[in-house]
Amino acid sequence: MLSKLHGGYGYCTEYGIEQFTRDSKIAAIYEGTNGIQAIDFVMRKILKDRGATFFSVGKKIQETMQREEAKQFPHEVSMIGKSMEMSEKVLAKFGEMLAKKNDMGVLAHATDFQNYCGNLVIHGFY
């Protein structure tokens, strides 16, 4: 297609269009694999052991929040604590959904939960 549009140039660096073409393709690939990773994260990494590993990471975050240097940031520590509580509620809801054989409901929220957990871990440790 690009070769017809640009007189035989094809994928070249003289035009910005080739970057848009590449970016649109990689976005489709990324989004697909991101969803697969999120499903693996929720179903196999968290729910398979009823969240035991996930909650052990939460315990490490709590330990980090109790360090002396964390006392400089009481608002942030409070927000991270609330976020941790919310993640526990989400996992409880996932458990309810699975008990009702609503696997698709869990899968539909897996990517959002993975992003949420990524932010929680980054802010909880740093």
- Looking at every residue in the chain, the average pLDDT score rounds to 83
Q: Of 124, 38, 123, 43, nearest to 91 (Cα)?
A: 43
Q: Mean pLDDT across the stretch 63-79? A: 90
What is the signed CA dihedral for 92, 47, 115, 19, rounded to 10 degrees? -150
Q: How many domains does the chain have?
A: 1
Of 3-17, 94-108, 109-123, least confident by mean pLDDT is: 3-17
Q: What is the rounded distance in angstroms from the CA atom of residue 82 to the CA atom of residue 99? A: 26
pLDDT value of residue 38 = 92
Asked if 31 is an active-site residue, the reply is yes
- What would the pLDDT profile of 99-118 be if each residue is shown by its tens digit? 999 999 999 999 999 989 98
Residue 20, pLDDT score: 74
Options 14, 31, 85, 88, the catalytic residue: 31
**Could you read off the pLDDT of 25-62 as tens digits, one per residue?**
776 676 668 889 999 999 999 998 988 999 998 899 88
Q: Which residue range forms the structural domain that includes residue 45?
A: 2-125
